[in-house]
Amino acid sequence: ELPKEVTINSKTYPVDAEWFNVSSTILNLTSRKLHLQKDHPVSITRQIIESVFPSPTYLSYNNLDPVVTTHENFDSLGFPPNHPGRAKTDTYYINSTTLLRTHTSAHEAELFAASKSPGYLISADVYRRDEIDKSHYPVFHQMEGARVWDRNTVPNGDIVAAVHRDLDALPKHEMIIEDPNPPFHPERNPLQPSHTPEEAEAVGKHLKRSLELMVAEIFKRVKESHARAGVKEQDEEPLKVRWVEAYFPFTSPSWEMEVWYQGGWLEVLGCGVSQQHILNDAGVPNQIGWAFGLGLERIAMLLFQIPDIRLFWSQDERFLGQFRGVEGNLGKLRPFVGFSRHPACYKDVSFWLPAGSTGAAAAGGKGREGGEWHENDLMEVVRDVCGDVVEDVVLMDSFTHPKTGRRSFCYRVNYRSLERTLTNEEANGLHERVKGEIVGRLGVEIR
């Protein structure tokens, strides 16, 4: 059943049975490249953001291969060997050293080494085994951005002055910004030993201002589209962003940016001052700079008010038709108008884990040994059998038998197509197949 090799974007890779976990559903999506599909909202969003980071300072790389090495995706960035993100439950592997990138940061090392410009942008499809709900899909699109300054080429070798000059040249913006934390913090967000406080502070300021300008541009487009659609101004929320301290193995200090949206804070990106070892390893030890990574679907959902991440994969004309012509003319950008919601139909499944399986990581917990139960494996089976007709899968109940210690779970699978009404027979048929597959593939026992 298992192939000896797989071909992705016309390159062939040997498959290792112990590691291979990429279903055909996922393999088929490697050719879609929504970020390059004309008039697709992900592509429109990419272009609006690219316009805020213009050439020749920034060059865009939009065709990098999704298959990378564990070295590129993890080791080169300083992920420790036991980092949970490396687990087979979280990452799609082809063999022990080859995987589908989980983030665009996988290309940082090669681009810091090779980029012809002080800044670069990478837009690409990324892959993560994950839960099933409105804002998670195992394939999504990220944009990575980076900008460096070279101690050897800035006037007088003065990085701080050079960064400030570039900062002053950036346009101004008006928005409410919450940024309560110091530019770095000895425990929570440390300065790197090779950076002066002034350097880290200047680079961090340039990073934050650049990303605030990006969000300001998105919201300018949202306002224009609202005006076109007749949304009243008093119904609009003022633009508000906040900076939250964060941790990434490949930046320090690090932050996440959150945007106030529909009554809550929405995380839209991670960023920070690049770890010097990455630049050193790339052969440019005299450079210092920043990097960010953002989720294009998240921003596109804000831009167009798209309510469900599954919609981005729709080939339905009622979806795609709403964006036609926008790529060449942003004056046509309008809020997405949802088509009628079709009825949902949920079905529960209860099962015992295989004897000896602890299920400690069941409810989203990370970090596990091979062979143990993980919820993401169930999610993968559901996607495989049902494609995009499942809206979410929710843990309803768990139980440990007092005598045997055996664990059982009850999950609710919510069947709802974005495009048509599912019949109860159809949902029943899917549900029976889901049950059969989880018994066959995960070794559980239906209760």
Q: Is 252 in the site for ligand PHE (CB under 6 A)?
A: no
Q: Which residues pair with 390 in a beta bridge?
A: 415
Q: Is 184 in the site for ligand PHE (CB under 6 A)?
A: no
Q: Which stretch binds ligand PHE (CB under 6 A): 201-209, 285-293, 299-307, 393-401?
A: 285-293
In this structure, what token pair is assigned to residue 426?
């159809």
Q: Is 66 in the site for ligand PHE (CB under 6 A)?
A: no
Q: Is 292 in the site for ligand PHE (CB under 6 A)?
A: yes
Q: Is 243 in the site for ligand PHE (CB under 6 A)?
A: no
Q: Is 251 in the site for ligand PHE (CB under 6 A)?
A: yes
Q: Is 6 in the site for ligand PHE (CB under 6 A)?
A: no
Cis previous bond, 238, omega within 30: no
Number of residues counted as binding ligand PHE (CB under 6 A): 11
Q: Is 336 in the site for ligand PHE (CB under 6 A)?
A: no
Helix (H) or strand (E) holding 18: none
In this structure, what token pair is assigned to residue 225?
């589209």
Amino acid at 130: D
CB of 429 to ligand PHE, least distance (A): 37
Interface mask (CB under 6 A) for ligand PHE, residues 137-156, using x and -?
-------x------------
One of 79, 92, 120, 248 touching ligand PHE (CB under 6 A):
248
One of 119, 138, 183, 270 touching ligand PHE (CB under 6 A):
270
CB 266 within 8 A of CB 259: yes
Collapsing DSSP to helix, strand or coil, 340 comes out as: coil
Q: Which stretch binds ligand PHE (CB under 6 A): 47-55, 159-167, 269-277, 416-424?
A: 269-277
Dihedral sign (CA 213, 216, 222, 224): negative
DSSP annotation of 343 reads P
Distance CA 141, CA 36 (A): 11
CA 414-347-338 angle, 5° bins: 25
Of residues 103 and 208, the one with the C-beta less far from ligand PHE: 103
Of residues 163 and 271, the one with the C-beta less far from ligand PHE: 271
Distance CA 42, CA 298 (A): 9
CB 122 within 8 A of CB 144: yes
Q: Given the rule CB under 6 A, which residues bind ligand PHE?
A: 103, 105, 144, 248, 251, 270-272, 291-293
